[in-house]
Structure 1
Amino acid sequence: MGFTNVIWLLKRYGLEFLSERVGIVLIAFTTAFMYAVFFDFLPLYAKDSGITELGIGIIFSTFYIVTSFFAVFLGWITDRVKGARWLLMLAISLNILSCTVIVLNASFLSMLFARIFQGIAMASLAPLIRTIAVEFFGITRGIGIIELFYSMGSFIGSIVGGIVAELFSLAMTFTLSALLLSVPLISLIISSRTYSLNYGKANEGLNTSFLSALGTVIKSRIATSIYITIFLRHTGACAVWAIYPLYIRYLGGNNVVIGISAAVSTLVSALFMKRASELAYRYGLRTLTLGTLFSLLVFVGYMLTPTAVLVIPIQVLLGVGWSLLLVGAEISLIRVVGASIRGTALGLLNTSLSLAATIGSIIGGFLAEVLNYRATIAFAISACSLAFMVSVLSEKRTSLNLE
């Protein structure tokens, strides 16, 4: 059977059913699945391959550095295109390549390049998927649906990845991720759908330079306050996530408690995303403020809890708080900036998150090494307190039109 006939059969009986709406949701799910697998199991895979803790730290920080470097520019690229199909194909291909190279050659360099590929892909996909979703579903439903499937992909990726790693091997988890990503990629290749992005671009978006788009976003007091709030909160949070498993063990917990606590927060976040998007659209920056307050309370709870098991109920608040924080920031940005620079604004948000993850992880590890785990949590409490104050002051100074 010739290649042309294979493509015809796939179109006729296979992947042609993936409409643009289903396709973008599937891309979000499979991408989140892969990132969860890498986050959970790449350190173990690297350790088993003879890579040192320092090498593992470099591999992980590379992803965030690359993402923060490319995010704004690729977000601006999103604003300049009317058809996103080729961008989606490129980003998914980079993610599949990242899985392939570490399975074929488990070395420091292969894992480093894998994280570089993923950083570029994430910088492109994060604003792209959300702007497409807003185009297809509207602001509230679009952000809510995408964040729901991102969270479900992360949740299922962690669980299925663990089962596959236990029954087969760590390498098989990365192979499975590549196979899942190939489904939306093949659909994009054989489909004639363009994933059109027409909002506001007929006269404005295509002619906006990178510096002009970036300057417009930064000049917005609301947008700037959102970025500062997100950066402060996420820096503190990522300081804790860097030592979180070790802290749970310090409190007397085991791997089961670590896994359950992570799953609880992810699941709650997934289930609450749709409701959070509705609240964000209705209340604007108040949602961001509430999410920041919940994050502050979570880390206070971590500080005060005497045993690891008591961390699990705190994770419910973490899941709700992260949902409010993330969609509150995204929806507020989309509504504040012009339609033609949504990608740039969301790209800058991704940069803020990635920079915070890089800096926070370094601070968290340093404080835990020099002082103790609770010093890291105290830093997170301080950072979230500052983020909360910035958000409250911004909410009082600005008035986001909610109608």
Structure 2
Amino acid sequence: MRLNLIQLFTSASVFMCLVYIPLVGEEIGATHTEIGIIGAIYGITLFVSSYVFGRATDIYPPKLLLYAGCMTCAFFFFLQAFATTPEALGLIRALAGFSTGILPAALISYVHIIGRDVGKFVSFGALGWAFGAVVAGVVARLTGDLHGIFIASSIFFIVSVFLLIGLPRVSPGSRDGGLPSTTTIKKNFAVYGTFFARHTAACSIWIIFPLYLKALGAGALEIGVLYAINPISQFVIMRNIKTHNSERLIEVGHIVSAVAFASVCLLTNHYQAVLSMFLVAVSWSFLYVGSILTLLKENPSSRGTAIGILTSAISIAAVVGSFLGGGLSDLAHSFLPSDLMAYRIVCGCAAIISASGFISYRTSRSRLRSKQ
């Protein structure tokens, strides 16, 4: 239960900040492109950290890394409350991203080592997103200040540190040193590459989505509630997914992603986003659980490394997606009469990218089977 609560609280902290960073950036004078850059900086440091600490999870005790990650996150997420310029916010987000990257591979490896169900454990991350989105919306409504969200996120990380105290110490699965090899990347490129494409598409939407919802008439609390639909649905779906065919899960995830992003493009009011967020939940649940299970199955001696590289791919996709969403939104706005039309252009491009990812995955896996 402690592990599930740690997954819930850490995921809540990360997500509640992620949702409202674009609005905070707008409040302190950042342009859409600058908001994209802030998101990209966070993604870059998360990428580096995930890459390094994913391998570290195969060498050092996961609990040690979890302590380091939770404590540094508590500090840097708290500092976000004091950012008053886009430059300061970008710097602090960079530090927050590096701290966050310590956690994913360590958590999943710990769960796998002690023999827990990975799919059910991951579902608590989704529940944490929902919890974080609602808490952030309530905090914003009660305080009238988005900066209170950062203080709440820091408190959740502190709670996670105390929850770690009661967990048993476990040994890493491997003592093989060195950085993640190109062999691991090549072996699993079909998973990494297409996941990267899908998540790039998603992040191009998420960097402008709070602004999109605001333009459609949603307030801060409504934005939090709408964001909560996605992870609440994920929690239910992930706990009931049949995991015997992980490749089929990945394929379904890619197909539904394209449909979900296309539906976001067609929104005319914020209430319609309910269906879109449910479709996003289905797509992520199938794709993420399928990818995790495939990597754990096909990389028995380097599980932490394989998961760390996936987290790195997710992180670098956040970088590219943030630049793409923010930059394309500004570019489209210079040619189109309204922000809404510009946001829809971004969502349409995301749907196309996601559909391309599915085609690429099917092609890559077919080639791999033909060589075996």
Structure 1 length as normaliser, TM-score? 0.80
Output aligned runs, 1:127-142, within 5 Å: 127-138=105-116, 141-142=117-118
Partners of 1:52 and 1:198 lie apart in 2 by 43
Whether 1:182 aligns to 2:152 is no
Whether 1:218 aligns to 2:182 is no
Output aligned runs, 1:89-104, within 5 Å: 89-103=67-81
- Cα deviation per residue 1:44-89 (whole Å; 9 max; x = unaligned)? 44555x45336544433221010112222211111112x2222111
1:166 aligned residue: 141
Whether 1:384 aligns to 2:354 is yes
1:254 aligned residue: 218
Per-residue deviation, 1:310: 2.9
CA RMSD across the alignment: 2.5
Task: Indicate how the Cα distance of structure 1 residues 106 and 185 shifts in structure 2: closer, same or farther if over 3 A, else same.
Answer: farther
Q: State whether residues 22 and 211 of structure 2, in contact with CA within 8 Å, keep that contact through their aligned partners in structure 1.
A: no
Partners of 1:151 and 1:208 lie apart in 2 by 32
Aligned to 1:309, the other structure's residue is in SS state: helix
Q: State whether residues 201 and 353 of structure 2, in contact with CA within 8 Å, keep that contact through their aligned partners in structure 1.
A: yes
Q: State whether residues 46 and 106 of structure 1, in contact with CA within 8 Å, keep that contact through their aligned partners in structure 2.
A: no
Per-residue deviation, 1:259: 4.0
Task: Indicate how the Cα distance of structure 1 residues 275 and 398 shifts in structure 2: closer, same or farther if over 3 A, else same.
Answer: farther
2:337 aligned residue: none
Task: Indicate how the Cα distance of structure 1 residues 86 and 113 shifts in structure 2: closer, same or farther if over 3 A, else same.
Answer: farther
AA aligned to 1:322 is: W
Aligned pair partner of 1:80 in 34, 55, 59: 59
Aligned to 2:171, the other structure's residue is in SS state: coil
Partners of 1:171 and 1:246 lie apart in 2 by 17
Structure 2 length as normaliser, TM-score? 0.86
Task: Indicate how the Cα distance of structure 1 residues 240 and 59 shifts in structure 2: closer, same or farther if over 3 A, else same.
Answer: closer
AA aligned to 1:35 is: V
- Cα deviation per residue 1:149-178 (whole Å; 9 max; x = unaligned)? 111111111111221232234343322322
Whether 1:303 aligns to 2:278 is no
Whether 1:197 aligns to 2:171 is yes
Whether 1:120 aligns to 2:94 is no
Task: Indicate how the Cα distance of structure 1 residues 246 and 85 shifts in structure 2: closer, same or farther if over 3 A, else same.
Answer: closer
Per-residue deviation, 1:331: 0.9
Partners of 1:57 and 1:305 lie apart in 2 by 22
Partners of 1:254 and 1:383 lie apart in 2 by 27
Q: State whether residues 97 and 114 of structure 1, in contact with CA within 8 Å, keep that contact through their aligned partners in structure 2.
A: no
AA aligned to 1:254 is: A
Per-residue deviation, 1:258: 4.0
Aligned pair partner of 1:209 in 178, 198, 206: 178
Aligned pair partner of 1:355 in 309, 313, 316: 316
Per-residue deviation, 1:216: 2.8
Q: State whether residues 130 and 231 of structure 2, in contact with CA within 8 Å, keep that contact through their aligned partners in structure 1.
A: yes
Whether 1:396 aligns to 2:361 is no
Aligned pair partner of 1:35 in 2, 9, 14: 14
Q: State whether residues 207 and 322 of structure 2, in contact with CA within 8 Å, keep that contact through their aligned partners in structure 1.
A: yes
Q: Say which one has the larger Rg.
A: 1
Task: Indicate how the Cα distance of structure 1 residues 180 and 376 shifts in structure 2: closer, same or farther if over 3 A, else same.
Answer: closer
Unpaired segments of 5 or more residues in structure 1?
1-21, 200-204
Partners of 1:331 and 1:192 lie apart in 2 by 24
Partners of 2:359 and 2:199 lie apart in 1 by 15
Partners of 2:128 and 2:76 lie apart in 1 by 18
Output aligned runs, 1:3-14, within 5 Å: none
Whether 1:240 aligns to 2:205 is yes
- Cα deviation per residue 1:368-393 (whole Å; 9 max; x = unaligned)? 22233333223112211211111222
Aligned pair partner of 2:250 in 276, 288, 295: 288
Per-residue deviation, 1:301: 2.3
Partners of 1:382 and 1:344 lie apart in 2 by 30
Task: Indicate how the Cα distance of structure 1 residues 161 and 259 shifts in structure 2: closer, same or farther if over 3 A, else same.
Answer: closer
Aligned to 2:197, the other structure's residue is in SS state: helix
Partners of 2:213 and 2:155 lie apart in 1 by 34
How many residues are paired up?
Answer: 357
Per-residue deviation, 1:90: 0.9
AA aligned to 1:285 is: E
Aligned pair partner of 2:331 in 364, 370, 376: 370
Task: Indicate how the Cα distance of structure 1 residues 178 and 294 shifts in structure 2: closer, same or farther if over 3 A, else same.
Answer: same
Q: State whether residues 80 and 93 of structure 2, in contact with CA within 8 Å, keep that contact through their aligned partners in structure 1.
A: no
Unpaired segments of 5 or more residues in structure 2?
333-341
Output aligned runs, 1:331-342, within 5 Å: 331-337=293-299, 339-342=300-303
AA aligned to 1:76 is: R
Task: Indicate how the Cα distance of structure 1 residues 308 and 146 shifts in structure 2: closer, same or farther if over 3 A, else same.
Answer: same
- Cα deviation per residue 1:346-397 (whole Å; 9 max; x = unaligned)? 1111111111111122122222222333332231122112111112223434
Partners of 1:152 and 1:361 lie apart in 2 by 24
Partners of 2:50 and 2:172 lie apart in 1 by 21
